[in-house]
Amino acid sequence: MQLSELELIRREKRTQLQNLGINPYPADLYPVTTTSEEIKQDFSEGKKVVIAGRLMSRRIQGKASFAELQDAKGRIQVYFNRDEICTGEDKSKYNDIYKKLLDIGDFIGIEGELFTTQVGEKTVLVKDFTLLSKALKPLPQPRVDSEGKVHDAFTDPEQRYRQRYADLVVNPHVKEVFIKRTKLFNAMRTFFNERGYFEVETPILQPIPGGAAARPFVTHHNSLDIPLYMRIANELYLKRLIVGGFDGVYEFSKNFRNEGMDRTHNPEFTAMEIYVAYKDYNWMMEFCENLLEYCAKEVNGTTQATFGEHTVDFKAPYPRVTMAQAIQKFTGFDITDKTEEEIRTAAENLGVAVDDTMGKGKLIDEIFGEKCEGNFIQPTFITDYPKEMSPLCKEHRDNPELTERFELMVCGKEIANAYSELNDPIDQRERFEAQLKLAEKGDDEAMFIDHDFLRALEYGMPPTSGMGIGMDRLIMYLTNNPSIQEVLFFPQMKPEKKAVAMTEEEKAVFKILKADTGDKMELEVLKKSSGLSNKKWDKAIKGLTKNKLAKVEKTEDGLFVTAV
């Protein structure tokens, strides 16, 4: 890896510090007493403080200098004055160590006293400082001017996602998104725990990937010599726990789906699933709207959230619309009591793409997805989905073609999905078998039959309502980010291409050179044995000498190439 000039300079400074007897990476605890935030909130002139963080900007004016120190809570101005730091004859700590050997990005600790500058800035007067960690790579340095305009912003998404650590250091608004993300998780936990529901963990490596229709990642367990799948959902395991006697269980689950990536799909994503015994989906709707109202307030301090052009209000309650009502409203077509053929014709008339493999449920789902879904901006429950689309959901108490299912739509997208859970083991087996038929027809997302899950149901599961929430999508709404990558610390990226150390020609030449005894050859001999054209030879040998892998020397006996 070729180092830039700036990186070489910093490495040299590291060595110089060591030569001065200063460890650039000391092991000692640093006795921090406060943070930048506390200093500003609880400011009193002359107060002694010990703080630590990264040096983020410097304005050096000879024997004095202002700088900014950034810690986990923000930034605080610090004032380095030569006479304060170097009270004796030796002024090198200021002149050499501070001014010459520290860089922006270095972690330092500061002992000092608070004061206010003539322009009114709360500042730490540095009495002494300690290098805590030397940064060898220069950070991007965005700056904000007095009009609030950002200069040199670090904005390239590729670099920001690949080097999230740097993104977080220099872009405070990015850090804010992740703070809100954690607030959301904490808020949900609090809401559930206060109601007595129990947080659990279930397997991520599963012999049968169940609970959703999706293509799984496959891996292999060596000593068992069996395939294992990364989980696509945790539903079936949580229901086993309801069978086992828990009243309410929930889990934040990292799920993995081996499907396409775009700005709303990452191969791994986080869902929250909760199952509560003796409840139905009507109860769950109320629970859901109360939950989201609570979470929105905890995260943003208000139930309103801005998402692009929309302002969404999470204040409960939310409208409840059946799928049939939604379709009637946006297409004028009433699907109630219609045959499959009538619905197919209606879909075709509406310009919805259909094919012969689609059953009644799929057709209805297509019409809804195409014509209705995008219209629900404010949180809205869509209820009573076709049975065919919901193999884990209980049949509707009033209509055997439907299920007791709802999805919560926000800004035209689903963020929650819930059922009155199917607990009839015979019905469940038949639904799995119907899925198996779909798989045989080539649907690679059809569900597997999970016999152990059926066995669990046979022991009896109480009536239960369950709900899943897409955490990534929800936090996108709460932080106004249209891309899932902005709400994941480390979104999946294609691997960075490794810089090729040597070209094929260079490798060939180098191999011949190394094979020769003494690693030294006459240039003409080497050139001839490489068999390269003039142009390619020239490029190869220049490449090798440039990378200091070979050296060309002229002696009395002629031109020689030496391996270095």
For the segment 415-434, give every residue that binds RNA (CB under 7 A).
417
The stretch among 16-24, 244-252, 395-403, 482-490 that binds RNA (CB under 7 A) is: 482-490
- The answer to whether residue 142 forms part of the interface with RNA (CB under 7 A) is yes
Site string (294-333) toward RNA, x via CB under 7 A:
----------------------------------------
The stretch among 5-13, 274-282, 418-426, 523-531 that binds RNA (CB under 7 A) is: 5-13
Restricting to residues 187-216, which ones interact with RNA according to CB under 7 A? 212-214
Taking residue 302's Cβ as centre, other Cβ atoms within 10 Å add up to: 11
Q: CA–CA distance from 507 to each of 250, 311, 501, 510, 543 (Å)? A: 57, 60, 9, 5, 10
**What is the distance between the alpha carbons of residues 443 and 213, in angstroms, rounded to a whole number?**
10
- My answer on whether omega of the bond before 227 falls inside 30° of 0, hence cis, is no
- The answer to whether residue 407 forms part of the interface with RNA (CB under 7 A) is yes
Q: What is the DSSP letter of 34?
A: -
**What is the distance between the alpha carbons of residues 545 and 68, in angstroms, rounded to a whole number?**
44
Nearest of 405, 401, 398, 406 to residue 338 by alpha carbon: 401
- The answer to whether residue 151 forms part of the interface with RNA (CB under 7 A) is yes
Long-range pairs, 355-364, Cβ under 8 A, ≥24: 357/441, 359/388, 360/386, 360/388, 360/401, 361/385, 361/386, 361/387, 361/388, 361/389, 362/386, 362/388, 362/389, 364/323, 364/327, 364/335
- The answer to whether residue 257 forms part of the interface with RNA (CB under 7 A) is yes
The stretch among 26-34, 339-347, 497-505, 511-519 that binds RNA (CB under 7 A) is: 497-505
- The answer to whether residue 123 forms part of the interface with RNA (CB under 7 A) is yes
Q: Give bridge partners of residue 443 from the DSSP assignment.
A: none
- Residue 334 Ramachandran class (φ > 0 left, ψ -120 to 50 alpha, else beta): beta
- The answer to whether residue 355 forms part of the interface with RNA (CB under 7 A) is no
Restricting to residues 326-345, which ones interact with RNA according to CB under 7 A? none
The stretch among 291-299, 337-345, 455-463, 481-489 that binds RNA (CB under 7 A) is: 481-489
- The answer to whether residue 140 forms part of the interface with RNA (CB under 7 A) is yes
Q: What is the DSSP letter of 205?
A: E
The stretch among 218-226, 262-270, 280-288, 331-339 that binds RNA (CB under 7 A) is: 262-270
Residue with Cβ nearer RNA (244 or 369): 369
Residue with Cβ nearer RNA (279 or 473): 473
Residue with Cβ nearer RNA (142 or 463): 142
Restricting to residues 45-84, which ones interact with RNA according to CB under 7 A? 58-64, 66, 77, 79, 81-83
Pick from 154, 250, 275, 432: which binds RNA (CB under 7 A)? 154
- The answer to whether residue 351 forms part of the interface with RNA (CB under 7 A) is no
Interface with RNA: number of residues (CB under 7 A)? 76
- The answer to whether residue 27 forms part of the interface with RNA (CB under 7 A) is no
Residue with Cβ nearer RNA (243 or 392): 392
**What is the distance between the alpha carbons of residues 467 and 388, in angstroms, rounded to a whole number?**
19
Site string (530-559) toward RNA, x via CB under 7 A:
------------------------------
The stretch among 143-151, 190-198, 239-247, 508-516 that binds RNA (CB under 7 A) is: 143-151
Q: CA–CA distance from 489 to each of 102, 178, 368 (Å)? A: 29, 8, 34
Residue 171 structure tokens: 């872009």
Residue with Cβ nearer RNA (143 or 451): 143
Pick from 497, 518, 555, 557: which binds RNA (CB under 7 A)? 497
Contact (Cβ atoms closer than 8 angstroms) between residue 285 and residue 381: yes
Taking residue 463's Cβ as centre, other Cβ atoms within 10 Å add up to: 14
Residue-wise burial string across 261-291, b where 16 or more C-beta atoms lie within 10 A, e elsewhere: eeeeebeebbbbbbbbbebbbeebbebbbeb
Q: CA–CA distance from 76 to each of 27, 65, 115, 473, 507 (Å)? A: 25, 14, 12, 34, 53
- The answer to whether residue 92 forms part of the interface with RNA (CB under 7 A) is no
- The answer to whether residue 441 forms part of the interface with RNA (CB under 7 A) is no
- Residue 376 Ramachandran class (φ > 0 left, ψ -120 to 50 alpha, else beta): beta
- The answer to whether residue 100 forms part of the interface with RNA (CB under 7 A) is yes
Residue with Cβ nearer RNA (69 or 461): 69
The stretch among 18-26, 341-349, 420-428, 491-499 that binds RNA (CB under 7 A) is: 491-499
Q: CB neighbours of 245 closer than 8 A, spacing ≥ 6?
A: none
Pick from 98, 129, 161, 294: which binds RNA (CB under 7 A)? 161
Pick from 44, 118, 222, 339: which binds RNA (CB under 7 A)? 118
The stretch among 115-123, 198-206, 283-291, 423-431 that binds RNA (CB under 7 A) is: 115-123
Q: CB neighbours of 235 closer than 8 A, spacing ≥ 6?
A: 210, 211, 212, 273, 392, 466, 468
- The answer to whether residue 226 forms part of the interface with RNA (CB under 7 A) is no
Pick from 42, 90, 152, 348: which binds RNA (CB under 7 A)? 152
